[in-house]
Structure 1
Amino acid sequence: MRVMLKATLDTDKANEFLQSGKMPQLLKETMEQVRPEAAYFGPQDGHRTCYFVFDMADSSQLPPIGEPFFTQLNAKVEVFPIMNLDDLQKGLSQLG
């Protein structure tokens, strides 16, 4: 299932992580693990925010993907199903 993971980073923890030089490694590991079709980074509501769109084959993938953001960056993590236009059209074609 295509999902979007949104990680809103705690500013103080993210500052510490950036200063320690660990941020590039965390992002590299995340990109290698989820192999996103899209990844975006920017501010939202005054916080550093990451967005990853990827295929989650099984819900058991969630802990290894989300926990580093929780434990290392004190992030607020949200994961929700999303569709691209092809998915939406396929779903709409199934309506009666």
Structure 2
Amino acid sequence: MRVLLKASMNTEKANDVIRSGRMPQLMEETLGNLKPEAAYFTIDHGVRTAYLVIDVQDSSQMPSIGEPFFMDLGAEIDMTPVMNSDDLQKGLSQLR
């Protein structure tokens, strides 16, 4: 299932990771493990935020998806199922 992951990072913890020089490696490892379809980074409600579109096959993947953000960045995470236009068309065709 396609899922939009929103990770809002704790500013102090993220600052520590940046100061230590580990942020590039952490992001590279995390993105390498999650293999997102898309990844965007911005500021949302005043904090560093990552938006990743990922494929989640089973709910048992949730700990391995969230823990790098929780442990290293003190992030708050939201995961929301999403559709692309092909998914929407497929879903709408089932309404007939």
Q: TM-score range by the shorter chain?
A: over 0.9
Q: Does 2:56 match 1:39?
A: no
1:1-96 pair list within 5 angstroms:
1-96=1-96
- For residues 50-80 of structure 1, the C-alpha deviation after alignment (integer angstroms, 9 at most, x for no partner) is 0110111111111111011111111101111
Aligned residue identity for 2:59? S
Query: What is the percent sequence identity of the aligned residues?
Result: 58
Relative to the length of structure 2, the TM-score reads 0.95
Structure 1: 5+ residue stretches without partners: none
User: What is the root-mean-square deviation of aligned Cα atoms in Å?
Assistant: 0.8
Runs of 4+ in 1 over 2 A off after TM superposition: none
Give the number of equivalent residue pairs: 96
Aligned residue identity for 1:9? M
Distance in 2, matches of 1:68 and 1:34, equals 11
Aligned residue identity for 2:83? M
Secondary structure of 1:31's aligned partner? helix
Relative to the length of structure 1, the TM-score reads 0.95
Distance in 2, matches of 1:77 and 1:38, equals 17
